A and B are shown apart, each in its own frame.
Chain A
């Protein structure tokens, strides 16, 4: 468990303290995939680097499984870092080492593994990330996705309990992003590893994260389960991110809504209710006519969901809303 207790970070620039992270409380459970989303400069990079103390905090305590890591001495800190893997946007592989040697590197640094142990572990990891055929290549001979898989294998070499992902998919094309995210999900499930992932794409959060924190201006402005934050965003920044990921133009949406007649409702289906033939039956029973203004049906991690914006005219609106809510559909009156 990672606990932030009033953790803050500021940088000294020309004698003035510029805050990068305002005092923040946060708890990340063991085994969960925790997303941190924010625009560049929001402080998410700083936040993830506080977890392995690449950036020391200027205030507050960071507790990992009950241990206050901010009090660690140099040797303790190095030992602790071996239990925290990290992958990067630009992979940061050593260009002078082969794929195998890159994966072996953290184990060699640790100085506690025998040659045979290192060789076996590298083989195992190469197979895990499907790069066995590329073992003797140099990073420059690999594609972006392959490089990131080497990065992941390297991060896992010393069997860490936490994996930090710093914009790990931001330099990759959509298809490669998907395969890297799938790999991260598998690792999370198989190894029970805690993953902290920062990104500026809500879509990445939607696909793999259990919980998410939204950051803006050095503060966590919203935090909760992904389905909650994604389907019912409260903070304007969160709303922007959700709109962005759904390709919704906020202004266009407003104009569309103005043109529509009658009441406008936003319905959110989650899990099983997504598959129920609900709208038709509710419309028939209550005599309400509806037209769909916008909608999306997709998955949040493994849970299917649908979100529809409808305009409703005539019939018994109250009865329709009650029937929908009774079927576990979240109903929000937009107008």
Chain B
């Protein structure tokens, strides 16, 4: 056992795991905070919706599509100057968070838009018929009804962010991905590679399981 994992520096793995957790947690938080309103706006300004605004929708949709069509590895590099401006460095855990949010927020926004579209139009109509204003329709009916879908969206976004966070190792982002690249790839330490991959797999499994449980808990259908 010792010989098999001779290159593995467990304290290092522990730090890297924690870094990945922080990167995913922080970027997920900001992705949800930014993506949720964008998703709601995308939905509301869409065709035949409450605040139909073809121009606003087209602009918003275009920005989201641009961010989503840039491969994340490129986005990481393109974002460097902006990240430096924002937090002073493009390195380490902190430096990885802005590009992660830039990749995660538009992704999550689309998922929010889709889950809002799945809310029965009749429910919106009924709420309107009760004399609700747009704010009340959003917070009283739309978001509660779409909650299971939104939670499922958060789960998918979190898992995507795990893989994005691993990629950020390429530009010195820290975490398990960084470890895998520096030791597993550049120094041919296969055992380190195996451990980091195994940890990432466990991480994703746990996220999915928790997400599924939450969706089930909030589904009343």
Contacts and interface: CB of A to CB of B under 8 A. Distances in A.
Nearest to B220: A138
Contact of B220 (A80, A90, A110, A140): A140
Interface stretch (A57-65, A101-109, A275-283): A101-109
Contacts of B130: 81-82, 105-106, 109, 158
A105 B140 contact: yes
Interface stretch (B16-24, B50-58, B141-149, B167-175): B141-149
Contacts of B123: 92-94
A175 interface: no
Contacts of B125: 54, 88, 92
A81 B145 contact: no
A88 B122 contact: yes
Contacts of A138: 220
A74 B135 CA distance: 13
Contacts of A164: 129
Contact of B145 (A79, A90, A95): A95
B120 to A, nearest CB: 7
Q: Is the interface of A mostly helix, strand, loop or mixed?
A: mixed
Interface residues of B, number: 21
B132 interface: yes
A97 interface: yes
B131 A79 contact: yes
B128 interface: yes
A95 B120 CA distance: 10
Given A90-B122, A109-B136, A95 B129 contact: no
Interface of A: 52, 54, 74, 77-82, 84, 86, 88, 90, 92-97, 105-106, 108-110, 138-140, 158, 164
27 contacts: A54-B128, A74-B133, A78-B131, A78-B133, A79-B131, A81-B128, A81-B131, A82-B131, A84-B129, A86-B129, A88-B122, A88-B126, A90-B122, A92-B126, A93-B126, A94-B141, A94-B144, A95-B220, A96-B145, A96-B220, A106-B131, A108-B140, A109-B127, A109-B130, A109-B131, A138-B220, A140-B220
Interface of B: 120, 122-123, 125-133, 136, 140-141, 144-145, 147, 218, 220-221
Given A78-B132, A93-B126, A95-B221, 16 more contacts: A78-B131, A81-B129, A81-B131, A86-B129, A88-B122, A90-B120, A92-B125, A92-B126, A94-B144, A94-B145, A96-B147, A96-B220, A105-B140, A109-B130, A109-B140, A158-B130
